[in-house]
Every structure is written in structure tokens, then in C-alpha cells.
Amino acid sequence: MPLIERHPILDFKHDGKVEFTFDGKAMEGFEGEPIAAALHSNGVKIYRETPEMKRPRGFFCAIGKCSSCFMVVDGVPNVRTCVTPLRRGMAVLTQRGRGSVSIAEGEARR
């Protein structure tokens, strides 16, 4: 899958490769690139499912203005993955519905 080389509002470079997980599956991307770009280069097209109609959503505006790329990242729901930089070890999950934070995850961040 080709890399996204330029972004309309973000300035990023393809730093060293890092590992992250998507729905429990190990993947690689470049540190600092948008999470959505890393997912795209790994062939991932669906990022979330709408709350009421259960419709799939993926890359749309790519500038952080819509909600199509909302995902759960490191236990935090509603992360705009098109403008959030990838870091080593991130756990990225498909978001179903509005997303929620479990009590255990919330307590771990206190």
C-alpha cells in the first residue's frame, strides 16, 4: 500500500518505523505520521462504526474537522486519528458507537 507523503494541514516526516497494534494485530508505521496514514498504508479502511445505523466510516476529511476517523487510542475514545501522531506501542481500536472509557482505564490515568 502506498504511503501518504503529504498532508493538507500537518507537517510530518517519515521518521523511524515503530510498531503499534490495531484491534490486537501488530502493525508498523512511521513515528510522527498521522495514525490514519499508518492504518491506510497497512490496508485498514474502516476506523469506526456509527452509533445508530452501525455504518462503517474511514478516512474522509483528513484535517480533523469531521468525526469519520474517530478511534479508540490507548483506551481513549473519539481520537481524531487523521491529525494524531503515531507513537511506538500505541493500541488503536475500531470504535463502535460513541466509544466509552472503562472504569479500569480511567482509574489507571489518575
> What pLDDT, on a 0 to 100 scale, did the predictor assign at position 108?
46
> What pLDDT, on a 0 to 100 scale, did the predictor assign at position 53?
83
Residue 107 lies in a domain: no
CA distance 68 to 60: 6
- Domain with 90, as residue range(s), is 17-97
Residue 42 lies in a domain: yes
Residue 41 lies in a domain: yes
> What pLDDT, on a 0 to 100 scale, did the predictor assign at position 67?
78
- Closest to 82 (Cα-Cα) out of 93, 67, 69: 69
- Count of domains forming the chain: 1
Of the two residues 17 and 105, the one the predictor is more confident about is 17
CA distance 68 to 50: 9
- Give the domain CATH number at 57: 3.10.20.440
Query: Whole-prediction pTM value?
Result: 0.76
pLDDT band at 69 (very low <50, low <70, confident <90, very high): confident
Tell me the per-residue pLDDT of 1-50, one tens digit each, with 9 for 90 and over.
555 666 666 566 667 899 999 999 999 999 998 999 899 999 998 887 77
